[in-house]
Amino acid sequence: MNVPSRILAMASAGLLGSGLASAAAAKELHRTLPIASDGRLAISTFKGSITVSCWDRPEAQISARIEPDGFDSDADRRVEETEVVVDATGGSIRIKSNYDRVRDHGFLGLFGFSHGPLPFVHYTVRMPATARLEIDDYKSETRITGLRADLKIHTYKGQVDAERLDGAAVVDTYKGDVRVTFARYSRPSRFDTYKGSFDVRLPRDSRFALEADGGRRGGVDSDFVVASRRSGRRGGVSAQGNVNGGGPALRFTTSRGSLRLRGE
């Protein structure tokens, strides 16, 4: 084998080895736990994805895949030291992405930070449709389908898509993008954001009381007719009033964010 061919073979072997190393770096967790049909499931995570679907069984099926963000020499270690902690007590299940061991690798062990990016954690969960769901997130992509109970989400810069929700929604975000589609609107809900956007969809015959405060340079765009709509001194647009005779409150507050309220 001539020198250029030898170099090419070595490079190919190196790439293959790197590919195998990156594939080996990922690790998974699978758990199935009982949970009351009116219980609570809570997820606390940093980045990655959360996919939640619902069924009528009194149990939760939890899968988590931890993957590296980049493939430097420390990626395998960071994946290995990232943990998914599942705690089931009473009628509740709590799931947490735990990076404590990763962050302990500071200078001489004195500072709590990580060299290199933290791994992604990708969750796939099936849970009772009538159990409450709570999510505390930094910048994950979240998709929820068919929940018939209350939903509470805090995300910093994440993306959220909740479909066919039949329960209250309490959602706040810093710069995230949130889309919520209600199967019906029967419970008070609240949406808060700074520089984020909300796309909220309800059946056209929904009865609710809208209280939307655009704050500083925030926008409110609604398909529904309300009694009062005005532009504030801070440049934001606000809307207030009963829709279709009134009903549960739908509250929205923002600064430099937007609300799109659509009837379907």
pLDDT of residue 63: 98
Q: Does residue 199 contact residue 219 with C-beta atoms inside 8 Å?
A: no
pLDDT of residue 253: 92
Whether 263 shows a pLDDT value over 70: the answer reads yes
How many other CB atoms sit within 10 Å of the CB of residue 8? 12
Q: Which residue has the higher pLDDT, 75 or 228?
A: 75
Q: Does residue 95 contact residue 42 with C-beta atoms inside 8 Å?
A: yes
Q: List, for residues 179-223, the tens digit of each pLDDT value.
A: 999 999 999 999 999 999 999 999 999 999 999 988 777 788 889
Q: Does residue 46 contact residue 102 with C-beta atoms inside 8 Å?
A: no
Whether 29 shows a pLDDT value over 50: the answer reads yes
Instruction: Please list the alpha-helical segments (H only) found in 26-128.
Output: 75-81, 100-103
Across-strand partners of 18? none
What is the reported pTM? 0.84
Q: Is 130 helix (H, G, I), strand (E, B) or coil?
A: coil
Residue 119: C-alpha distances to residues 80, 183, 213, 215 (Å): 10, 35, 38, 36
How many other CB atoms sit within 10 Å of the CB of residue 243? 25
Q: List, for residues 102-154, the tens digit of each pLDDT value.
A: 976 554 344 445 567 999 999 999 999 999 999 999 999 999 999 999 999 99
DSSP letter, residue 27: E
- Cα angle 156, 154, 148; round to 5: 140
